[in-house]
C-alpha cells in the first residue's frame, strides 16, 4: 500500500493545549503529513508561532470568525489526497492515521472516522456506545438519538474524521450554523458516500470548556439545525433532539417562545424518557446560572 498524503487542519484560538495536539500529529506512524494551523485570534500569533516548526503552515484570520471558517481555510490550504481535522484541545494516538488509511485501502471508501476516549475530569469513556449502522437508521438519527441520560450512544466528532480532500472541498463547513456545526457537516459529508468506522479509540476528546460554543444555550440555533436536517430524522430521533436540545436551551434561559416552540415540535414525535429528563434539566441550568448572577 502506498500511503496517501494528508493535511491536518487544526483551528485554534491559541490555547496552550495546541502544543499537545501538534505533538500527537508529529508522532503519527505515517509519512506525508502536512499541518495547517488556523489561528482565529490574531493577538495570539507570536505564542502560536513558537509552537510550530518550519514544516507547519500558519493561517491567521481577522479574528472571531469561528470554527467553520477556520476549517474551510484549512481545506483551501490543502494540496494533499486527504484532509483530517483536529481540535486544538484534542489529541491522537500515534497510529490513528495509519489505521484509517489501511481501512480505506481495503474498502475503497472516501471517509473514515474512529471511536474516541472522552475525557470528563477524572472519568474517561469510550464513545460511541453503539456503532453506526446505515441499514438501520440515517446518520442524522444516529447522532441525535438519546436513549440514555448520558450522551454518546451515537457519536461522531470532528477530530476523528479523515476525508478525501476533493469531497471535503465540495461539502465544506457551514459558517451560518451557530450551533451543531459538527453534526451539520458530517450529515452532509456522509450523504451518499461510503463511510468506514474504525472501532479503536484512537482520538482523545476533552469535554467542552465552559466557554465552548457547543455549550451555549441557544434554542434558535438548535432549531436552525432541525430546519435543515429534520426531514432525515425518524420520529424517535426528532423528538429526542427537540427535548434534549431545543427544550433544554429554552428552559435554561426561560425563553417562553422557545418553550412553546419545543412543545409544538414534539407533537406527533416519540421522544425517549431519557431525552425528556435531559430537556427538563434546562430548568436546573437556569436556576444554577441565576444563583451565580445573584
Say if residues 199 and 115 touch (Cβ distance below 8 Å). yes
| pLDDT tens profile 230-279 | 999 999 999 999 999 999 999 999 999 999 999 999 999 999 999 999 99
pLDDT at 209: 52
Q: Is the pLDDT of residue 211 over 60?
A: no
* Sequence-separated (6 or more) residues with CB below 8 Å from residue 208: 214, 215
DSSP 105-138: HHH--SEEEEEEEEEETTEEEEE-SS---TTTS-
Question: Domains in the chain and their CATH numbers?
Answer: 6-206 (3.90.550.10), 217-293 (no CATH)
Cα separation of 181 and 221, whole Å?
Answer: 10
Distance CA 180, CA 272 (A): 21
Residue 18 CA neighbour count, 13 Å, CB half: 24
Q: List 9's β-bridge partners, or say none.
A: 36, 85
**pLDDT tens for each residue of 117-138:** 999 988 999 999 998 888 899 9
Note every long-range contact of 251-259, with CB atoms under 8 Å and residues 24 or more positions apart, other chains counting. Answer: 251/279, 251/280, 251/281, 251/282, 251/283, 251/285, 251/286, 252/217, 252/282, 252/283, 252/285, 252/286, 252/289, 253/217, 253/219, 253/286, 254/286, 255/219, 258/219, 258/220
Q: Which pLDDT does position 292 carry in this prediction?
A: 66
pLDDT above 70 covers a percentage of the chain that reads: 96
Quote the pLDDT of residue 165. Answer: 96
Which residue has 434534549 as its cell numbers?
A: 244
Amino acid at each position: 500500500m502506498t500511503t496517501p498524503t494528508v493535511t491536518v487542519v487544526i483551528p485554534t484560538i491559541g490555547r496552550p493545549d495546541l502544543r499537545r495536539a501538534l505533538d500527537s500529529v508529529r508522532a503519527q506512524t505515517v509519512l506525508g503529513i502536512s499541518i495547517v494551523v488556523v489561528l482565529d485570534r490574531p493577538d495570539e500569533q507570536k505564542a502560536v508561532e513558537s509552537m510550530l516548526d518550519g514544516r507547519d503552515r500558519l493561517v491567521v484570520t481577522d479574528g472571531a470568525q469561528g470554527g467553520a471558517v477556520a476549517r474551510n481555510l484549512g481545506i483551501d490550504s490543502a494540496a494533499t489526497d486527504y484532509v483530517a481535522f483536529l481540535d486544538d484541545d484534542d489529541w491522537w494516538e500515534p497510529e490513528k492515521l495509519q489505521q484509517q488509511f489501511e481501512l480505506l485501502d481495503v474498502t475503497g471508501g472516501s471517509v473514515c472516522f474512529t471511536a474516541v476516549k472522552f475525557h470528563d475530569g477524572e472519568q474517561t469513556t469510550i464513545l460511541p456506545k453503539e456503532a453506526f449502522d446505515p441499514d438501520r437508521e440515517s446518520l442524522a438519527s444516529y447522532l441525535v438519538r438519546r436513549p440514555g441520560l448520558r450522551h454518546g450512544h451515537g457519536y461522531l466528532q470532528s477530530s476523528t474524521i479523515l476525508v478525501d480532500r476533493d469531497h471535503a472541498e465540495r461539502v465544506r463547513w457551514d459558517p451560518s450554523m451557530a450551533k451543531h456545526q459538527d453534526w451539520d457537516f458530517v450529515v452532509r459529508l456522509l450523504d451518499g458516500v461510503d463511510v468506514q468506522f474504525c472501532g479503536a479509540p484512537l482520538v482523545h476528546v476533552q469535554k467542552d470548556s465552559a466557554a465552548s460554543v457547543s455549550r451555549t444555550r441557544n434554542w434558535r440555533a438548535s432549531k436552525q439545525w432541525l430546519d435543515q436536517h429534520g426531514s432525515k430524522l425518524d420520529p424517535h430521533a426528532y423528538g429526542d433532539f427537540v427535548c434534549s436540545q431545543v427544550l433544554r436551551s429554552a428552559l435554561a434561559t426561560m425563553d417562553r417562545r422557545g418553550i412553546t416552540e419545543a412543545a409544538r415540535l414534539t407533537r406527533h414525535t416519540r421522544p425517549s424518557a431519557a431525552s425528556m429528563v435531559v430537556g427538563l434539566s434546562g430548568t436546573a441550568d437556569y436556576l444554577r446560572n441565576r444563583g451565580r448572577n445573584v
